[in-house]
Structures are given as structure tokens and as C-alpha cells.
Chain A
Amino acid sequence: MDFTRRDTLALGAGAVALTVLPFRVNAAGEDAIAAFTGGAEVAEGGVNLDAPEIAENGNTVPIGVSAEGATAIMLLAMGNPTPGVATFNYGELAGSTMASTRIRLAGTQDVVAIAKMADGSFAKATKNVKVTIGGCGG
């Protein structure tokens, strides 16, 4: 039998293995936001959130945040059992209000960055990150 690689693939379309872990939400994320903002209004925009669209493994997902004029940025993984990830508090000698780190995501979900601005206002950015189940090949 002479199958090309793409034919093999087409056969696979019938018998599907789940690609992506399901989206999850929980109220704890909203609570954490409220605790950070004290319930103040949060504007969209003014925050950059750099995250992959598809993460190869949820264990180590690179994330970058920045927000001009922020004094602190809180990072949340809204679908994690405990949504808090980190809060960056910028000091007098911060060269900019940016930071990058690597985080854990328990499945496909929204990652949220909320910046607290010097004038006391809040701004936010949201990005959906798909987490794939790799794991094949040990």
C-alpha cells in the first residue's frame, strides 16, 4: 500500500484524540482581581501581554508584561486552581515597567495582566493560551 504522509493524516481525522485541554474558569480569579484593585474599575488597553497562542507544554509557558506608567502589574492564570501567578512591584530604579517569566498553565485558558497605574487607575490585557497535551514519546 502506498500512502503518503498526508493520506495517513487524513485517515486520522476520523479517530480523534483530544487536542487541547478544556477551558476552565473559576471565581477565584475574579476575587484575586478585586483584591488587587479594591473593586475599582479596570480599563482595557494600556497593558502589553506577550504570551504564546499555543504553548507546547503547560509546565513552562513564557510570558512577558509591560505597561507604561505602572507601579505594579499582577499576572493571573484565570483557569488555574489558584489563579495568582505573580505581582511585579516596580521600584524607584526600575528601568522600565516590564518583566518576563515562565509560568504553569493547567490547561487552555485566559491569562490576564492588570496594571496599577501611578495615578491609581487600573488597566488590563487578556490573552487566551491554548495548552496542548503532548506527552507522546514519554
Chain B
Amino acid sequence: MADGAKPRVKAPKSASAGEVVTIKTLISHKMESGQRKNKDGSVIPRSIINRFTCEFNGTSVIDVKMEPAISTNPYFEFEAKIPESGDLKFTWYDDDGSVYEDVKTVQVG
């Protein structure tokens, strides 16, 4: 799944100091649960994104442990406090070792 996983992030480009902003993220990924069987009856091996993190200028906003029960194309909505201008960094960790990243800059002032 290393190729084809594409992150999308919706975050405001600007905020006032200390403002709480809403963030939405979506990434294309099958999230194969390891519980499905294919036509010949063999189990399709698990392949999921198992962790998602969001940091602002290196400080954690949220760190999510993900299990196979998260739907295909994982979606999260949460809130971050923006103390100053800087970068929101988003990271998704795949079972296969791949890491997908996205960065959004937020201006304060």
C-alpha cells in the first residue's frame, strides 16, 4: 500500500494566537483488516495504518493508536490550539513500515 496512500488535510491557513482550530484529515488506504477472506477462502493479510499523529512545531496535538476497525480511507476530525505561527505536521504509520506525511503552515497575527 506504500504507493497510492495519499493524505489530505483541511486546516486553516491563519489563526489568532491561542485560537482553537478544527482539523480534518483523510488518507486513501484500504485498511485491510486481516479478517476478510478472498474468493479461494484464504485470509487476506492485515495491512493497515496503525498510528496517526499531529504535532505543531514539534509539540503533540494528538497521537492515535489505530486498529483494523477503522474504516477504509481513515478519517479524523479533532482540534488543535495554535499558540504561534508554525507548522502542523501530520504523520501516518503503515503496517508495512511506510510513513506518509503532510505539513500545513498556519500564520498567526
Over the window 55-75 of chain B, the binary record of Cβ atoms lying under 8 Å from chain A Cβ atoms (1 yes, 0 no) is 110011111111111111011
Task: List A contacts of B67 (CB < 8 A).
Answer: 82, 84-86
Q: Is the CB of A93 within 8 A of B80?
A: yes
State the CA gap A99–B66 with chains docked (Å). 13
Q: Is the CB of B55 within 8 A of A95?
A: no
Tell me if A94 counts as interface (CB < 8 A to partner B): yes
A-B interface pairs (CB < 8 A), number: 103
- Given known A-B contacts A91-B55, A91-B61, A81 and B81 have beta carbons under 8 A apart: no
Q: Pick the residue among B68, B74, B80 that contacts A101 (CB under 8 A).
A: B74
In the complex, which residue of chain B has the Cβ closest to the Cβ of A99? Answer: B78
Q: Is the CB of B78 within 8 A of A77?
A: no
Task: List B contacts of A117 (CB < 8 A).
Answer: none
Q: Is the CB of B77 within 8 A of A100?
A: yes
Task: List B contacts of A59 (CB < 8 A).
Answer: 71-72
Tell me if B21 counts as interface (CB < 8 A to partner A): yes
User: In angstroms, how far is the closest chain B Cβ from the Cβ of A94?
Assistant: 6
Q: Pick the residue among A77, A81, A94, A103 that contacts B62 (CB under 8 A).
A: A94
Tell me if B99 counts as interface (CB < 8 A to partner A): no
State the CA gap A59–B75 with chains docked (Å). 13
Query: How many A residues are at the interface, by size bracket?
Result: 20 to 34
Interface residues of B (CB under 8 A from A): 20-22, 33, 35, 55-56, 59-72, 74-83
User: A59-B72, A96-B78 are known contacts; what are 18 more A-B pairs with Cβ within 8 Å?
Assistant: A60-B72, A64-B77, A82-B35, A82-B67, A82-B68, A84-B67, A89-B64, A90-B61, A91-B62, A93-B80, A94-B79, A95-B22, A95-B78, A96-B79, A98-B78, A98-B79, A101-B70, A104-B70
5 closest pairs, A vs B, by CB? A91-B60, A95-B79, A95-B20, A84-B67, A100-B77
Q: Write 24 A-B pairs (CB below 8 A) sorted by A numbering.
A: A59-B71, A60-B72, A64-B77, A82-B67, A83-B69, A84-B67, A84-B69, A85-B67, A86-B64, A94-B61, A94-B62, A94-B81, A95-B20, A95-B21, A95-B22, A95-B61, A95-B78, A99-B76, A99-B77, A99-B78, A100-B75, A100-B78, A101-B74, A102-B74
Interface residues of A (CB under 8 A from B): 59-61, 64, 77, 80-96, 98-105
